[in-house]
Structure formats: C-alpha cells, structure tokens
C-alpha cells in the first residue's frame, strides 16, 4: 500500500468518501466533514493573508496557516521533505513535470479540472497539464514585453522591429548567457517546435530545418543593424542614460523600468519581425503561475478546495488589484481594470500567442547548448553554410541527452 493510501486510511478507517477516491483524487470522508483541520499555505506575498480570511469564514472547519515562501523555492522544499512542506503552494509551471514524475503533486479532480478549463485561458490550462492530466491550479501568466522610452519612440514605431531600430536603439542579448530564454521563441515564431507540439516529447525538437536556419540568419543580420545594441546586465542603466531606447523583459522589470524612464515610461507587446520573407508576430515563452496540492498533505480534499478558491475569478481579481499579478482567468483579463493597465494589457496580448515553457524534466538539458548556438551565431563563429548542420546536431544532442 502506498503512502497516499495510508494517509486516506488514517483519515477514515472505513475509507468511505462522500464522492469517492479514485485515480489520485480525494474528497472529504463523510465522518470527518465536521472536524476542523489546518491547511498550510505557501504563497509569495502577504496579500494572500487577507484573501484566506474570507475562505476561513466560508469554511469554518478549515483553518489556514499562511507562510510566506517564494514560488521558486517550492520545488527544493518538496524534494527535500514533502511532509514538512505546504499543503498548498505556489509553483512556476515549468517545474511541474519534475515534481509530478517524482510523485509529489496531487492530481486535480475532474470537478476542479472542469472549473480550470472553464475559467482560464488555454495557455494557462496547458501549463497546468502534464501528460494529459491536470496537476495545477492557474492564478496568473507572465511573458516578456517591450519597455520603451515614449519620448523617442511612438506607439506606432514599436509595432515593428524595423520601426524601433530605424528610429531608436533596442537593447538585446544575443551574445551572452540568457539569450536562450529570450530568443528560443524565434523558432516558434517561424514555425518550429521544442520538444514537440505539446512540449512533452524529448525527441520532438525540429530546429534543424530551413525555418531554423532562417532564425539564425535573422540573428546574424542584427549584428549589422545600427539600431540593435548588444546589452545585458547594463540594459536598465543604458535605458536611464539614453544610450538605448527600449529593451525586452518581463513584468518583474516594471518598477526598474519605471525608475529608469520616469515620465517617459511605456510598455507594449513585442513587435512584428520580417523573417523568411514574411512579417510575423515575435513570440515569447509563456510562464504560468500555479498553485499545487502537495501529495503528502493529510487533508487533500480541503487543500484542493483552498487551491480552487485561490485561483477563482474573484480572488484573481482581488490579487490583481492588490499587487498586480496578471490573471490567467479569461473574465478578469477582459475586465476594464486589466485592460486599462498597460503592462497587463501587453502581457495578456502576448500570452495569446505565446508557447508555454516546456515542463518536462529534460528541459534542464536544453539551456546550455541553446545558449551556445545563439552566442556563437552572434559572434560570427557559425557561418551560414554551417547553420543547418549545427541545428541538426543540436536536435540530436538534446534528444540523446534527454533519452531515458
């Protein structure tokens, strides 16, 4: 008998549930529904303290113990000792595959799965799903956006790459570590896929084709574009000094971008680019913010109820108004408040065409060789005649390193 079954058996000797336990789902035992239980919640912002008070009021037999823990720390704590971790915790979706593979996350029940699919945008649903099964409750989305100096560039200018780079200076990172995260979506923009169409096939990458070489040729061409500046750690300082007029980053850079640009701060979705003889919308990776239920929880049904509540329309709206997390809920994204906020509007626009970061554990083997290709292309170490063979070798390399 596995650990999960032992927990359920301990909760009710008869193991008779109100609506049954099957395939990793749980509901509250009929003879335990009146017992008060405590659920430990891990979240990264104190704004959730006030949110859970209403949940406790609505559910007098569930007490929530809030602990401030960063979402990026959830994985290491679960892997270290899941029995001491939060019952409900925040998690970036790209870490979901590893935790599910290790048996650390409780699957979302059919009822709550239907709710997620009804409430959230398709990209968020995809981010919460692994190998066809849902394991996360989405509460937000993130993508890269374009921050720019509106005294130098107009809203019309920033719609196209050429509009930006002919009139101003765009800070980009092609030549240093980290180029992989920003520029891998160039391949998606041009029709290629990473780890297959669903991001879960370790041997499904197809960068080694004509479309892939067009991506590298496009990067190579930017070396001779006077409006493109190789810039990484110094981008914000250069934005402040006026050395550059725009740069690409995510919502996490909002405050720093506002400080750098002051009254000239503006933000927009990515521009279109001309690649392979066609104008295409430049894509970005989609990050989905999730709550997950720890499989080691002693109160799985109550924990699932809390996770569902925390990702509801009402709570997503409240959290957006409080701390600005861009919601994953369709109704909240379409609200006047979100549409009025420039950053949130840009993120929601980008999220509609963005590719969720692959969540399979093998993604960790991808980053270093991808950086090498981007960096070497920018530095002129890969000639056009070598591009196809380099990408084909890359496809084989990550397929081999990811094979079990």
pLDDT single digits (tens) 163-204 = 999 999 999 999 999 999 999 999 999 999 999 999 999 999
228 and 365 assigned to the same domain:
yes
- pLDDT band (50, 70, 90) for residue 34: low
Provide the domain count of the chain.
Answer: 2
114 and 46 assigned to the same domain:
yes
Please report whether residue 20 resides in a domain: no
For residue 30, what pLDDT is reported? 46
Q: Map tokens 């969540």 to a residue.
A: 359
CA separation for the pair 126, 122 (Å, rounded)? 6
Q: Tell me the pLDDT of the chain averaged across its residues.
A: 92
CA separation for the pair 365, 266 (Å, rounded)? 36
Residue 353: pLDDT over 90? no
CB 329 within 8 A of CB 123: no
List phi, psi (to 5°) of 272.
Answer: -85, 155
Please state, in angstroms and as integers, the Cα–Cα distance from residue 396 to each residue in 192, 283, 366, 399, following that order. Answer: 15, 24, 11, 5
Contacts of 200 (CB under 8 A, 6+ apart): 97, 130, 131, 358, 359, 360
376 and 238 assigned to the same domain:
yes
Beta bridge partners of 170: 228, 246
- pLDDT band (50, 70, 90) for residue 9: very low
Please report whether residue 306 resides in a domain: yes
- pLDDT band (50, 70, 90) for residue 33: low
For residue 35, what pLDDT is reported? 87
271 and 346 assigned to the same domain:
no
Residue 18: pLDDT over 90? no
For residue 167, what pLDDT is reported? 98
State the pairing for strand pair 170-172/246-249.
parallel
Q: Please compute the mean of the pLDDT values over residues 12-26 and round it to a whole number.
A: 40
309 and 263 assigned to the same domain:
no
259 and 194 assigned to the same domain:
yes
168 and 60 assigned to the same domain:
no
CA separation for the pair 371, 358 (Å, rounded)? 16
- pLDDT band (50, 70, 90) for residue 150: very high
CA separation for the pair 155, 382 (Å, rounded)? 36
Please report whether residue 225 resides in a domain: yes
3-state secondary structure of 324: coil
Closest CA to 110 of 187, 36, 21, 209: 21
- pLDDT band (50, 70, 90) for residue 301: very high
For the domain that residue 319 is a member of, what is the CATH number?
A: 3.40.190.10
How many Cβ atoms sit within 10 Å of the Cβ of residue 14? 9
Please state, in angstroms and as integers, the Cα–Cα distance from residue 346 to each residue in 94, 187, 318, 350, following that order. Answer: 22, 21, 20, 6
CA separation for the pair 76, 295 (Å, rounded)? 15
Residue 207: pLDDT over 70? yes
151 and 246 assigned to the same domain:
yes
190 and 246 assigned to the same domain:
yes
Q: Please compute the mean of the pLDDT values over residues 267-285 and round it to a whole number.
A: 97
CA separation for the pair 52, 50 (Å, rounded)? 6
- Residue 18: DSSP 8-state: S
Please report whether residue 271 resides in a domain: yes
Task: State in Å, rounded, how far the first CA of the chain is from the last one.
Answer: 27
Please report whether residue 62 resides in a domain: yes
Please report whether residue 17 resides in a domain: no
Contacts of 130 (CB under 8 A, 6+ apart): 96, 97, 100, 200, 359
Please report whether residue 14 resides in a domain: no
Q: Please compute the mean of the pLDDT values over residues 12-32 and round it to a whole number.
A: 43
DSSP H helices in 178-243 = 179-183, 185-189, 210-222, 235-241
226 and 158 assigned to the same domain:
yes
DSSP H helices in 190-291 = 210-222, 235-241, 254-261
Q: Please compute the mean of the pLDDT values over residues 239-259 and round it to a whole number.
A: 97
Contacts of 337 (CB under 8 A, 6+ apart): 317, 320, 321
331 and 370 assigned to the same domain:
no
277 and 189 assigned to the same domain:
yes
Closest CA to 343 of 362, 365, 327: 327
Tokens of 258: 């506002």
Q: Which domain holds residue 93?
A: 37-142+286-356
Please report whether residue 329 resides in a domain: yes
CA separation for the pair 201, 121 (Å, rounded)? 23
């Amino acid at each position: 008998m596995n650990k999960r079954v032992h927990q359920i058996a301990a909760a009710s000797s008869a193991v008779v549930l109100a609506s049954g336990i099957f395939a990793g789902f749980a509901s509250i035992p009929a003879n335990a529904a009146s017992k008060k239980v405590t659920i430990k919640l891990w979240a990264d912002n104190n704004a959730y303290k006030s949110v859970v008070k209403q949940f406790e009021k609505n559910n007098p037999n569930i007490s929530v113990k809030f602990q401030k823990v960063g979402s990026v720390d959830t994985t290491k704590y679960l892997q270290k000792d899941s029995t001491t971790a939060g019952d409900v915790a925040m998690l970036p979706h790209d870490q979901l595959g590893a935790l599910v593979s290790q048996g650390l996350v409780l699957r979302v029940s059919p009822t709550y799965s239907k709710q997620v699919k009804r409430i959230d945008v398709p990209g968020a649903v995809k981010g919460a799903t692994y190998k066809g099964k849902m394991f996360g409750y989405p509460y937000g989305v993130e993508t890269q956006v374009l921050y720019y100096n509106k005294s130098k560039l107009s809203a019309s200018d920033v719609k196209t790459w050429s509009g930006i780079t002919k009139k101003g200076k765009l800070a980009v990172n092609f030549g240093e570590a980290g180029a992989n995260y920003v520029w891998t979506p160039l391949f998606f923009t041009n029709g290629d896929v990473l780890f297959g169409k669903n991001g879960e096939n370790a041997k499904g990458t197809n960068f080694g084709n004509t479309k892939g070489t067009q991506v590298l040729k496009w990067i190579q061409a930017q070396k001779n574009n006077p409006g493109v500046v190789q810039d990484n750690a110094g981008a914000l300082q250069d934005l402040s000094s006026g050395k550059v007029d725009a740069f690409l980053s995510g919502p996490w850079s909002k405050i720093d971008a506002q400080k750098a640009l002051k009254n000239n701060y503006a933000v927009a979705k990515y521009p279109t680019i001309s690649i392979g003889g066609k104008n295409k919308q430049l894509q970005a990776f989609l990050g989905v913010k999730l709550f997950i239920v720890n499989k080691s929880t002693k109160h799985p049904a109550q924990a699932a109820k809390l996770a569902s509540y925390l990702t509801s329309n009402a709570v997503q709206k409240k959290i957006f108004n409080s701390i600005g997390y861009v919601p994953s809920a369709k109704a909240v994204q379409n609200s006047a408040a979100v549409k009025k906020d420039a950053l949130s509007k840009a993120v929601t626009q980008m999220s509609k065409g963005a590719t969720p970061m692959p969540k399979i554990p093998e993604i960790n083997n991808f980053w270093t060789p991808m950086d090498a290709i981007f960096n070497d292309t920018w530095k002129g170490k890969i000639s056009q005649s070598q591009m196809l063979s380099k990408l084909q070798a890359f496809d084989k390399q990550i397929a081999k390193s990811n094979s079990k």
